[in-house]
Structure 1
Amino acid sequence: MNERSTVHSVTYDLLRSLRLTTVFGNPGSTEETFLQEFPDDFTYVLALQEASVIAMADAYAQTTRRPALVNVHSSAGLGNSVGNLVAAYHGHSPLIVTAGQQHRELVIGEPYLANRDATTLPRPWVKWSYEPLRAEDVPEAFMRAYAAALQPPSGPVFLSIPLDDWNRPLSGPAVLRDVSTAYAPDPERLRHFAARITASRRPALVFGPEVDRSGGWHAAVALAERLNAAVYSPPLADRASFREDHRLYRGPLGMSVRAVGERLAGHDLVVVVGAEVFRYYPYVPGDILPQGTELLHITSDPAVAAAARVGDSLLGDARMAIELLTEAVAEGGDRVLPEPMPRPGKPTRTPSGPLTPAEVYAALADVRPEHAVFVNESTSTMAEHAQWLPAVEPESFFATPSGGIGWALPAAVGVALGDRDRGVRRPVVCLIGDGSFQYSVQGLWTAVQQGLPVVYVAMRNGEYSILKSFADLEKTPGVPGLDLPGLDIVSVARGFGCQAAEVQSPAELRKEFTAALESGVTCVIVVTTRPQRITL
């Protein structure tokens, strides 16, 4: 390290060592000292609004299984990002989110664009939030941020860095540390769980997002087959963790207390691995579990375990726990399984009018490419997605875990960037509602500028259908703002540089979708669909 080393040069050397050489950002005046003389071996991914920045980095981190580095503007820019920071927190995505701070000599006077109480703003949606007390602490703060983001339960962290820190002289190099990314479950407690599972006559397995995130997809299949047990998806899963065309798969649990309790009727034991117990959405009262049913819960997140309203918990890495259970449980070939879900028949085409969601998904199923990854943000059509486009491979389905919208459009960009950086070629398809499309629409520009072959299928039903379903449930007629007339999605997409088309029939959809996949560029297909209400 030469005598001209600075906080900037020492920190960038550390980032290289940590493989944090892709920066997702939208620059501001207080970040330019961090970005000055941006190195040739680093990549800057520009998004046009901070919510898109976070969602892209989130999906990139999930796809690469490595932390992602984010740089947003102080104060207002960080505020713009918080909506999707909530999703990253719930999705356990290891993000290192940085923002600039005004010059240290000005902060006492509350200058323009100062980040007031900088470490408070992103809470409670980060694991750690810090502003270094001294400029020379910046590299060490990055090292701690990396460790905090990556160690289980992984998640986003935040650093606020005054703009004058970067050019301060600093001897180095920074201290580089390696950290653990998983921990094993307690052996004695795991043996106890295994004995209870072996003794069960009709167990149900619920595999949640932690299973796919930990690389435990195939291990989950092996455990289910050894036990000959029914497998369900947890409510509102943001990752798929089991092959959904498998003979043991029995579908999603539902979204309410009543729906989940009724779905689990007949099972004497429920084993939830890598999911909340449970992620409810509408309030429909009922029994959390059927009478006589017990629950075992395995998760790497102590807060998730503590929040469960029923069941006994075991802390540990999902994949590790599943593999150890598979060795410890007895085979269950004589167990009686509940009836499988009926497979959907081809929807009947109505002679005129918009397509039904089932017709859209059935048409896409006809031309579904091999190894496709789907990013979905069409809440009112998730049931059709599960029926027609079941997950058949690991890391092939992504959705927002927070319930907020505006995540999927830029997240599809993050998935495609992550695939490109790890040398994987697979089609990336985003299925999205017309309302959701508007929240982070500027993400299309980044997709085009990065040359990403993402295909967006926007279903335009002219309303917030899921909210109209809630209006029916909650008996709240006359709610304003639920209709969305006049959205010209094709023109907007073309304005950002995308290829775009509008289709009216299943045949047109299949044709345009196939052409979009073959084009190698960012494409948007708009299909007008019939509004539908869902049972909540």
Structure 2
Amino acid sequence: MSERSTVHDVTYDLLRSLRLTTVFGNPGSTEEPFLQDFPDDFTYVLALQEASVIAMADAYAQTTRRPALVNVHSSAGLGNSVGNLVAAYHGHTPLIVTAGQQHRELVIGEPYLANREATTLPRPWVKWSYEPLRAEDVPEAFMRAYATALQPPAGPVFLSVPLDDWNRPLTGPAVVRGVSTAYAPDPERLRAFAARITASRRPALVFGPEVDRAGGWHAAVALAERLRCAVYSPPLADRASFPEDHPLHQGALGMSVRAIGERLTGHDLVVVVGADVFRYYPHVPGEILPPGTELLHLTCDPAVAAAARVGDSLLGDTRMSLELLTEAVADGADREPPEPMPRHRKPAPTPSGPPTPAEVYAALAEVRPEHAVFVNESTSTMAEHAAWLPAVEPESFYATPSGGIGWALPAAVGVALGDRDRGVRRPVVALIGDGSFQYSVQGLWTAVQQGLPVVYVAMRNGEYAILKSFADLEETPGVPGLDLPGLDIASVARGFGCRAAEVTSTAELAREFTAALEAGVASVIVVTTRPQKITF
């Protein structure tokens, strides 16, 4: 490399070596020195607001199974991104988030667009946050950021880089290091877990998002079938990790202490793999576990293991743990398998007015394309999604792990970009409530500009239905701001360049959905639905 190389040159060569050649961003003045002379072999994905930037990169990294590089603008842009940065943190997504800092000579005087206490702002939602002390340290900081983001448990990291660092002379190349992405469970402890599972009369398995993230879908099926035991989905899972049409699958556990405790009644041992123990939503008091029930917990995340209120933990790569456990447990041929869950019957049509959420999902099930991937952010209809559009393949369901909204619309763009990048063709369908749709609606523009045929189904019930259900549960009448009149989602979608349609019946929905799949462009279908109460 020439003696006249700069920090910019050396860093971009490093990024090439690490296959970080797709940059998700929304540029600002302090980032332009990083983006100058943008190389032809790099791709810049522009989103119109930083929350969308993060969500797109998050889903892209999940889909491609490698880190994604994000560039946002100083403290203002980073602040906009934090909501979806929380989702990436909880989802263990390896993101390298960068932001420009003001010129080093100006920072001491608090200039305009300086990032005050830059490394503090994204905490605690990043694994590592750093601003290099010298321009010469920038490439090495990127290498450390890459290693930290990938090492288990994976997660986002943050780098703040002063704008004048990029043109400083620097001789390269940067040091490129290999990074371990998995570690094995303790063999002795795993054997002890296997013995307890073998001795169990009526065990239950709970497979969480870590399983699918680790590529452990088939390993989960193998363990369940060897044990011949009930399998449950954890509360509010952001990935599906077991075929939800499998005879052993018994549905979701529930969302409250009472609901989960009651659901697990009759099991003498519960084995939670790759999930929190447990992610509760409403506060409905009860027993965490029924009397006489024990719990074993397998996870790659020490923090998740430490936070569990009951049970014994085993740390290790989730897929590896499943495979080793399957070899170590005795065959459960003597166990009586659980009764398969009853199949849902098609709901009777609503005599008048808008269809119910169950009718909407049942209609979509009839026209569901093969190998479709679903991204869901319709908080009040998650049960209907699981009932009518069960996950039947690995990496086919995505949702936000943080509980915040505004993730799914741009995340669907990230999934489609990731599929295109790895040469995979499958329909991408996003199911989103009318309230959630507003949070990152500008993500539609990127879908159109990138030529991505994502199909969005926006369910318009005219309210924050989940919050009305919570108001009933918490006995808080008179809460303002729960109704959403006057949302013209279709017109907004057309303004961004999408194909858009409004429907009021399931027959219209099925027809428009099929047409959208065949259109080959980003499409938004707005379906008016009947509000419903949720039972916790």
TM-score interval w.r.t. the shorter chain?
over 0.9
CA distance in 1, matches of 2:176, 2:533: 54
- Give TM-score scaled by structure 1 length: 1.00
Match of 1:65? 65
The 5-angstrom pairing of residues 35-114 of structure 1 reads: 35-114=35-114
SS of 2:470's equivalent? Answer: helix
Match of 1:371? 371
CA-to-partner distance for each residue in 1:287-339, whole Å, 9 max, x for gaps?
A: 00000000000000000000000000000011000000110000112213443
CA distance in 2, matches of 1:26, 1:342: 48
**Does residue 1:151 correspond to 2:148, yes or no?**
no
SS of 1:195's equivalent? Answer: helix
Match of 1:202? 202
CA distance in 1, matches of 2:278, 2:411: 25
Asked if 1 retains the 8 angstrom alpha-carbon contact of 2:229 and 2:338, the reply is no
CA distance in 2, matches of 1:9, 1:269: 57
Report the residue type matching 2:39 in the other structure: P
**Does residue 1:174 correspond to 2:180, yes or no?**
no
Asked if 2 retains the 8 angstrom alpha-carbon contact of 1:464 and 1:483, the reply is yes
Match of 1:433? 433
Report the residue type matching 2:204 in the other structure: A
CA distance in 2, matches of 1:183, 1:3: 41
CA distance in 2, matches of 1:358, 1:78: 39
SS of 1:439's equivalent? Answer: coil
Asked if 1 retains the 8 angstrom alpha-carbon contact of 2:454 and 2:522, the reply is yes
Alpha-carbon deviation of 1:375? 0.1
Match of 2:360? 360
CA distance in 1, matches of 2:222, 2:310: 26
Same amino acid, percent of matched pairs:
89
Alpha-carbon deviation of 1:171? 0.3
Match of 2:488? 488
CA distance in 2, matches of 1:350, 1:444: 32
Match of 1:297? 297
Asked if 1 retains the 8 angstrom alpha-carbon contact of 2:247 and 2:341, the reply is no
Unaligned stretches of 5+ residues in structure 2: none
CA distance in 2, matches of 1:120, 1:336: 54
Unaligned stretches of 5+ residues in structure 1: none
SS of 2:418's equivalent? Answer: helix
Aligned residues: 536
CA distance in 2, matches of 1:59, 1:507: 32
CA-to-partner distance for each residue in 1:147-183, whole Å, 9 max, x for gaps?
A: 0000000000000000000000000100000100000
Match of 1:341? 341
CA-to-partner distance for each residue in 1:409-459, whole Å, 9 max, x for gaps?
A: 000000000000000000000000000000000000000000001000000
Match of 2:331? 331
CA distance in 1, matches of 2:4, 2:218: 51
Match of 2:247? 247
**Does residue 1:228 correspond to 2:228, yes or no?**
yes
Asked if 1 retains the 8 angstrom alpha-carbon contact of 2:247 and 2:339, the reply is no
Asked if 2 retains the 8 angstrom alpha-carbon contact of 1:202 and 1:337, the reply is no
CA distance in 2, matches of 1:379, 1:299: 26
Report the residue type matching 1:189 in the other structure: R
Alpha-carbon deviation of 1:344? 1.0
CA distance in 1, matches of 2:270, 2:78: 41
CA distance in 2, matches of 1:242, 1:351: 36
CA-to-partner distance for each residue in 1:370-421, whole Å, 9 max, x for gaps?
A: 0000000001000000000000000000000000000000000000000000
Match of 1:444? 444
CA distance in 1, matches of 2:307, 2:504: 46
Match of 1:189? 189
**Does residue 1:504 correspond to 2:504, yes or no?**
yes
SS of 2:2's equivalent? Answer: coil
Report the residue type matching 1:434 in the other structure: D
CA distance in 1, matches of 2:307, 2:162: 37
SS of 1:431's equivalent? Answer: strand
Asked if 2 retains the 8 angstrom alpha-carbon contact of 1:8 and 1:167, the reply is yes
Report the residue type matching 1:7 in the other structure: V
Asked if 1 retains the 8 angstrom alpha-carbon contact of 2:73 and 2:100, the reply is yes
CA distance in 1, matches of 2:319, 2:21: 29
Single out whichever of 501-510 and 63-72 deviates more from structure 2.
501-510
Report the residue type matching 1:222 in the other structure: A
CA distance in 1, matches of 2:518, 2:186: 50
Match of 1:318? 318
Alpha-carbon deviation of 1:4? 1.4
CA distance in 1, matches of 2:95, 2:403: 19
Match of 2:256? 256
CA distance in 1, matches of 2:165, 2:331: 61
- Give TM-score scaled by structure 2 length: 1.00
CA distance in 1, matches of 2:38, 2:73: 17
CA-to-partner distance for each residue in 1:160-210, whole Å, 9 max, x for gaps?
A: 000000000000100000100000000000000000000001000000000
Report the residue type matching 2:525 in the other structure: I
**Does residue 1:278 correspond to 2:278, yes or no?**
yes
CA-to-partner distance for each residue in 1:3-45, whole Å, 9 max, x for gaps?
A: 2100000000000000000000000000000000000000000
SS of 2:44's equivalent? Answer: strand
SS of 1:459's equivalent? Answer: strand
CA-to-partner distance for each residue in 1:19-74, whole Å, 9 max, x for gaps?
A: 00000000000000000000000000000000000000000000000000000000
Match of 1:465? 465
CA-to-partner distance for each residue in 1:97-135, whole Å, 9 max, x for gaps?
A: 000000000000000000000000000000000000000
Asked if 2 retains the 8 angstrom alpha-carbon contact of 1:62 and 1:213, the reply is yes
CA distance in 2, matches of 1:231, 1:25: 40
CA distance in 2, matches of 1:417, 1:397: 16
CA distance in 2, matches of 1:352, 1:299: 49
CA distance in 2, matches of 1:516, 1:198: 50
